[in-house]
Amino acid sequence: MSKEITARSEDYSQWYNDLVLKGGLADYSAVKGCMVIKPYGFGLWEGMRDVLDKMFKDTGHQNAYFPLFIPKSFLSKEADHVEGFAKECAVVTHYRLKVDEQNGGVVVDPEAKLEEELIVRPTSETIIWNTYKNWIQSHRDLPLLINQWANVVRWEMRTRLFLRTAEFLWQEGHTAHATADEAIAETRQMLDVYADFAENWMALPVVKGVKSANERFAGAVDTYCIEALMQDGKALQAGTSHFLGQNFAKAFDVQFTNKENKLEYVWATSWGVSTRLIGALVMAHSDDDGLVLPPRIAPLQVVIVPIYKGDDQKARIDEKVHAIMADLKKAGIRVKYDDSDNARPGWKFAEYELKGVPVRIALGARDLENNVAEVARRDNKTKESLSLDNLAGTVQNLLDEIQQNIYNKAKAYRDGHITQVDTWDEFIATLDGKAGFVSAHWDGTSETEEAIKEKTKATIRCIPLNNPQEEGKCILTGKPSKERVLFARAY
Amino acid sequence: MSKEITARSEDYSQWYNDLVLKGGLADYSAVKGCMVIKPYGFGLWEGMRDVLDKMFKDTGHQNAYFPLFIPKSFLSKEADHVEGFAKECAVVTHYRLKVDEQNGGVVVDPEAKLEEELIVRPTSETIIWNTYKNWIQSHRDLPLLINQWANVVRWEMRTRLFLRTAEFLWQEGHTAHATADEAIAETRQMLDVYADFAENWMALPVVKGVKSANERFAGAVDTYCIEALMQDGKALQAGTSHFLGQNFAKAFDVQFTNKENKLEYVWATSWGVSTRLIGALVMAHSDDDGLVLPPRIAPLQVVIVPIYKGDDQKARIDEKVHAIMADLKKAGIRVKYDDSDNARPGWKFAEYELKGVPVRIALGARDLENNVAEVARRDNKTKESLSLDNLAGTVQNLLDEIQQNIYNKAKAYRDGHITQVDTWDEFIATLDGKAGFVSAHWDGTSETEEAIKEKTKATIRCIPLNNPQEEGKCILTGKPSKERVLFARAY
């Protein structure tokens, strides 16, 4: 199996597609730009979703569900918002088909035209704030802390599995607050939740920062983000948390009576991560033999493969494995025994390597006699013979070690790929060298950022939080600057 | 609060709407026919979803995710399917809006017209079987056991919150098998899973049966269903499981090589339940004071309300309640302490009654001295003073008793509302008396069923499984019949 994966050095993009398709994460569909998430990929998403969902609930949020459709007119109520989303909307114009008497098949029924077209939600601020208008009257109704798990659609011309698809799955938090300070605190709290999840579950080191005006969410006052680095030196925005000010409250006229009994507009946040995170996971850790999944979110953490000749050996191995399985499951470990007889052990090894299962245990008749098993790590490809006594404890420790090792490796790579440059030539050379984040001075204007993007395809990924202040000159214009920002080419 | 609920006897339909809206389950939205599921209602759905999801996984199914959109032409590949769904489709025709220079706002960009229109999935057989074509080659790829949790859209003209909405949430299982027998066994297994869930979790007694041809899913060979009875004597289809034969395999050319190395078409099933179940739950158990939720799926099982004067009493009660809460949570009970000081105990009592919380515990200073608490049941409105010693154990038993009592009550009602009739006059009188299911002979033809529906609005809800065979005459035509079927007016 592993031979079918294109090497990163040969064609990074094809390597990624191979992993996603052959690793069983996703498939193309008959609808341009829409993917099918296959069971293994969806299992990964379910695990990520459950962890995030608990984090949201632990910070006081509740889930709800808002309509898939948004009346077209809602989109234009917030001036920046419409600019950001109108160009990539799926538009529902009719509500009925009819059989085509002449040619067979079905055609749109021209008599079933909607009075007002509906947009398939690209994000739900507008429909949600239109609803919040009815839910918020007094300061006692605040804060309102709601999250939604949903599918959204943004019509993209160039799509990539997980990274950029017309439809994707995500969660979107939408909160309402009595003061700007509270809303900003919420925005930053959720950024911390995302960073915690990325680092401690996905083993993905991230830079926390704020977006420049050009990269800000359409309708936000400030967009906070976490930015990760992929193995080809490109950055990937892994999550965003927006302070929306009173923009949507004003657009939808959502006011509350404060404690002084005066009417005020409500303060808002929104924040989201999506199935794009799966793309980030794949590209951050995997190698030329397949996926490398961090144990804490791997759908399957351990696979056990028997090595035997004849039914008698098989029966003895089975008996032992069932005891081992029981111990592992008791320890909360996700384990599978693959004793299917339609593939050889070597084929199975390659298959689970491709699928990124963190630990593989092979057990043969000889091992059984010696009370050991061959335990192989996916992350660094080492193998050792380990005692069957307290194997669950050993494996638990090993999973923790693997989790840490995957994170350390990604962090060492990321830390080694932040380069400070002070001249335009260095800037270009560093970008072209696929060196990751480039830390450079910028004059703070949208025009300069746009010019840099046009010349190099690099964008400002973020202005890191707690950024050191330092006098310098913009790499493009030479104008004065007070701090460095992180540039990169990005997914 | 309770006064705001319309009595069932006064206006059953308004009573239902009051419960859904004032109980905090759902709200209307700005999009005609689409609802907002509020946090309390969504919590209920999450609990139901988690239980069902585990049942699906325990029977070998995996989750996946397929596109929201279906190419228009797919719908007409299965002849019956298109008849069933074309008339209620949301149709996407364009993929971009543009700013209207003359009038402001946004308009559909006429240049962004799709080559082929896309349908928002009303159900996913077509897009899924088009995908399965690539996944199934050999008998080794079978069975394929996949489920999807998703939103679907069927454009309904007359909508009711939860019961009939343009968009709703559901799960749809889609399985592929090597033989008809296996597929039929799967269809019936999932019907049993649904019946188990309805009866043992929702406390909702159901009749398992098969649909007549008129009521069959568009594209199915056989549709199995569970039918429940509401308090107004109307039936509600609570879940369906379809044996699809080879209809979709033929429509999408999905063949496999069997063990004899011959090509065969694959056998299919699909099965689903939706947020409509929440409507069933509300209507089956609730009363004129509000919702009555079975403890096993109630988002909140116990609420504790302190009764106190002054901070000193409050502090002593708080201390005890925290110990009680810890015990209850340890026992796996979902409990909330409502010590908010912006409402009186009486208001809180009414509020939690309206929300259907199964057990309410009130604790005052006097109670504390006597080592007791006042424990009130939502289902039968009884209260008693119970010892604080081992309160968690007492409450756990009480929750079990309430679950059983709600089920028994619903079952007694249902069993008392199945009436055998042998003449047309009796049939009409029974229906008009809101007597629930009417068990009657029918000549087995679609024409007769249609005529009965037109005259009475009653449909055949199902032919019960293991139905006794009995000679009789059709209530409408007098033609011979071999068995009784269950008629009812239905949601």
CATH number at residue A476: 3.30.110.30
Region for residue B255 given its phi and psi (left: phi exceeds 0; alpha: psi -120 to 50; beta: otherwise): beta
Please tell me the distance in Å from B75's CA to the nearest CA on chain A: 8
Q: Are residues B281 and B301 in the same domain?
A: no
- List pLDDT tens digits, range A215-272: 999 999 999 999 999 999 999 999 999 999 999 999 999 999 999 999 999 999 999 9
- Kindly list the residues from chain B whose CB atom is less than 8 angstroms away from the CB atom of residue A39: 62-64, 146
- List pLDDT tens digits, range A301-357: 999 999 999 999 999 999 999 999 999 999 999 999 999 988 999 999 999 999 999
Please tell me the distance in Å from B305's CA to the nearest CA on chain A: 19
Residue A112 placed within a domain: yes
- Kindly list the residues from chain A whose CB atom is less than 8 angstroms away from the CB atom of residue B155: 95-96
Q: Measured between CB atoms, does B31 come within 8 Å of chain A? A: yes
Q: Measured between CB atoms, does A106 come within 8 Å of chain B? A: yes
pLDDT per residue as tens, chain B (491 positions): 445 899 999 999 999 999 999 999 999 999 999 999 999 999 999 999 999 999 999 999 999 999 999 999 999 898 888 888 989 999 999 999 998 888 878 999 999 999 999 999 999 999 999 999 999 999 999 999 999 999 999 998 889 999 999 999 999 999 999 999 999 999 999 999 999 999 999 999 999 999 999 999 999 999 999 999 999 999 999 999 999 999 999 999 999 999 999 999 999 999 999 999 999 999 999 999 999 999 999 999 999 999 999 999 999 999 999 999 999 999 999 999 999 988 999 999 999 999 999 999 999 999 999 999 999 999 999 999 999 999 999 999 999 999 999 999 999 999 999 999 999 999 999 999 988 999 999 999 999 999 999 999 999 999 999 999 999 999 999 999 999 999 999 99
The domain that holds A316 is classified in CATH as: 3.40.50.800
Return d(Cα A200, Cα A196) in angstroms, integer: 6
Q: Are residues B223 and B301 in the same domain?
A: no
- In this prediction, residue A363 carries a pLDDT of 97
Residue A403 placed within a domain: no
Q: A367, A398, A429: which is the final residue of a domain?
A: A398
The residue with tokens 């089956």 is B284
Which long-range contacts (C-beta less than 8 Å, at least 24 apart) are formed by B86-89?
B86/A96, B86/A97, B86/A98, B86/A99, B86/A106, B87/A96, B87/A97, B87/A98, B88/A95, B88/A96, B88/B122, B88/B154, B88/B155, B88/B156, B89/A95, B89/A96, B89/A97, B89/B119, B89/B120, B89/B122, B89/B153, B89/B154, B89/B155
Residue B409 placed within a domain: no
Q: A232, A257, A285: which is the final residue of a domain?
A: A285
Q: Are residues B301 and B276 in the same domain?
A: no
Please tell me the distance in Å from B409's CA to the nearest CA on chain A: 31
Q: Are residues B141 and B266 in the same domain?
A: yes
pLDDT of A3 above 60 = no
The structural domain count of chain A equals: 3
Q: Are residues B209 and B326 in the same domain?
A: no
- Kindly list the residues from chain B whose CB atom is less than 8 angstroms away from the CB atom of residue A27: 131, 134-135
**Cross-chain Cβ contact B68/A153 below 8 Å:** yes
Q: Measured between CB atoms, does B46 come within 8 Å of chain A? A: yes
Quick one: average pLDDT of A458-480?
97
Residue B407 placed within a domain: no
Closest residue to B106, CB basis, from A27, A76, A99: A76
Q: Are residues B263 and B358 in the same domain?
A: no
Residue A410 placed within a domain: no
In chain A, residues 116-135 whose CB comes closer than 8 Å to chain B: 117-120, 127, 130-131, 134-135
Q: How many CB atoms neighbour CB A192 within 10 A?
A: 15
- Kindly list the residues from chain B whose CB atom is less than 8 angstroms away from the CB atom of residue A117: 108
In chain B, residues 157-176 whose CB comes closer than 8 Å to chain A: 167, 169
Return d(Cα A351, Cα A5) in angstroms, integer: 12
Q: Are residues B317 and B231 in the same domain?
A: no
Burial (CB count within 10 angstroms: exposed 0-12, middle 13-18, buried 19+), residue A319: exposed
Which letter does DSSP use for residue B245 in this model? E
Q: Are residues A318 and A460 in the same domain?
A: no
The domain that holds B151 is classified in CATH as: 3.30.930.10
Q: Measured between CB atoms, does B149 come within 8 Å of chain A? A: no
Strands (E), B73-125: 91-94, 97-99, 106-108, 113-120
**Cross-chain Cβ contact B96/A104 below 8 Å:** no
pLDDT of A178 above 80 = yes
Residue A405 placed within a domain: no
Q: Are residues A82 and A121 in the same domain?
A: yes
Q: Are residues B112 and B192 in the same domain?
A: yes
Q: Measured between CB atoms, does B97 come within 8 Å of chain A? A: yes
Return d(Cα A154, Cα A156) in angstroms, integer: 6
Q: Measured between CB atoms, does A34 come within 8 Å of chain B? A: yes
Nearest Cα residue in chain A from B153: A68
Q: Are residues A50 and A182 in the same domain?
A: yes
Question: CB contacts < 8 Å between A and B, how many?
Answer: 202
Domain holding B230, by residue range, is: 2-285
Q: Are residues B446 and B331 in the same domain?
A: no
Residue A158 placed within a domain: yes
Q: Measured between CB atoms, does A151 come within 8 Å of chain B? A: yes
**Cross-chain Cβ contact B39/A62 below 8 Å:** yes
**Cross-chain Cβ contact A42/B62 below 8 Å:** yes
Q: B262, B285, B308: which is the final residue of a domain?
A: B285
Q: Measured between CB atoms, does A335 come within 8 Å of chain B? A: no
The single-letter code of the amino acid at B386 is: L
Please tell me the distance in Å from A266's CA to the nearest CA on chain B: 20
In chain A, residues 74-93 whose CB comes closer than 8 Å to chain B: 74-76, 82, 86-93
Residue A409 placed within a domain: no
- Kindly list the residues from chain B whose CB atom is less than 8 angstroms away from the CB atom of residue A169: 65
